[in-house]
Structure 1
Amino acid sequence: MKRLVLLLALALPACGLHPLYEGGGSGPVARRLAQIEVAPIAGKTGYLMSNALRDRLPGSDGGAAKYRLEVKLDDSIVGLGVRSDNTITRERRSLRARYQLVDAATGETLLDATAGSDAGIDVVSSEYATIAAENTALENLSNIVADQIVTRIAIYTRRASAK
């Protein structure tokens, strides 16, 4: 058992893995993420997504942002389960985001990608409960998609700073 642990300890540095947020809040990835400004996103879904992104990006140092994050959202609800009387019993809410990381000085698009997630919703006899479930699903999806976006930008930033 000790030999296995020793072999793993020796093999780990050779695998090429490095911490994404190496250096903590003063590391290269955190410093670059702090230089991103989230462009306004229209609508209720945009409001939720903007807040989720700002919560995940480190606060700026007070200077002008070097990068702008532009996000376009596609939010849809589709009925899945249908009873014999044509009432829907299940819905799928999908949130997709196309986002671009843009250099604020030059306008050059540095990263153009998509992120998305789905949630299932039970449609119950209470319309209020169904609407509340749809809103909760939207809030959760906004957080999931924001996590995906910030993670992808952090990976891009890590690779760009390693060059």
Structure 2
Amino acid sequence: MRALFVSLLVVASLAVGGCGLRPLYASGGKGAVAQMLADVDVAPIEGHSGWLVRNALRDRLKASQDRDGAGRRLRLDVRLEDSITGFGVRSDDAVTRERRTLRARYQLVDAATGEVLLDATAAQDAGIDVVGSEYATIAAESTALERLASGVADQIVARLAVFADRGGGRTAEGQ
């Protein structure tokens, strides 16, 4: 019985190895994905939520070494839509639950030509309990926004990494 289990495990591991999955960052900081991500400048984003998303993106893209974006080949333009919707309503019309949604439409643009290389969206939402204390509700909304900004930034960077891995972001010279 044990020999059968071991042989099935070996066969399964061979099948998984041949499925075509490979790490995006296989070559570390010198790989195509890391090189392209380091070459992205994040344009300023309007509002407090924009400030949070931009900082999260810059942290993930390692753009903090060059704060002004000079010499970067690619620019990331992001437009955000931040909304709070009340949906748990009591009989006295008081809201007991809110949903905060942060949606981002982003474009990866070649800084030299203005050509849009990637146009996509990302979104996150969070539920918030509305309690008797207005301060506690505002604090919960603020905390939710911080989490949402981080999640949207993660989605954007993951999509950019996949784009880079598939050969996106290369110029005509083959950089």
Q: Offset of 1:83 from its aligned partner? A: 1.1
SS at match of 2:29: helix
Give the residue type in structure 2 aligned to 1:91.
Answer: E
Q: Offset of 1:91 from its aligned partner? A: 0.3
CA RMSD of aligned residues (A): 1.8
Q: TM-score, normalised by structure 1?
A: 0.94
Cα pair 2:41 2:63 within 8 Å, conserved? no
Q: Offset of 1:61 from its aligned partner? A: 7.3
For these two proteins, the number of residue pairs brought into alignment is: 163
Q: Offset of 1:10 from its aligned partner? A: 2.3
- Structure 1 segment 44-63 matched on structure 2, within 5 A: 44-59=48-63
Question: Are 2:86 and 1:79 aligned?
Answer: yes
Cα pair 2:76 2:106 within 8 Å, conserved? yes
Match of 1:115 in 2: 122
For the residues of structure 2 that align with 1:91 and 1:74, how far apart are their CA atoms?
Answer: 16
Cα pair 2:74 2:108 within 8 Å, conserved? yes
Q: Any idea what the Cα deviations from partners look like across 1:36-79, whole Å, max 9, x if unmatched?
A: 00000011011000011011112477661110000000000000
Larger Rg: 2
Q: Any idea what the Cα deviations from partners look like across 1:106-148, whole Å, max 9, x if unmatched?
A: 1100000000011000000100000000000000000001000
Give the residue type in structure 2 aligned to 1:133.
Answer: A
Instruction: Name stretches of at least 5 consecutive residues in structure 1 with no aligned partner.
Output: none
For the residues of structure 2 that align with 1:119 and 1:135, how far apart are their CA atoms?
Answer: 11
Cα pair 2:40 2:63 within 8 Å, conserved? no
Range moving further from structure 2, 127-136 or 14-23: 14-23
Match of 1:10 in 2: 14
Q: Offset of 1:29 from its aligned partner? A: 0.3
Identity score, percent: 61
Distance 1:67 1:60, change over 3 A: farther
Q: TM-score, normalised by structure 2?
A: 0.88
SS at match of 1:117: strand
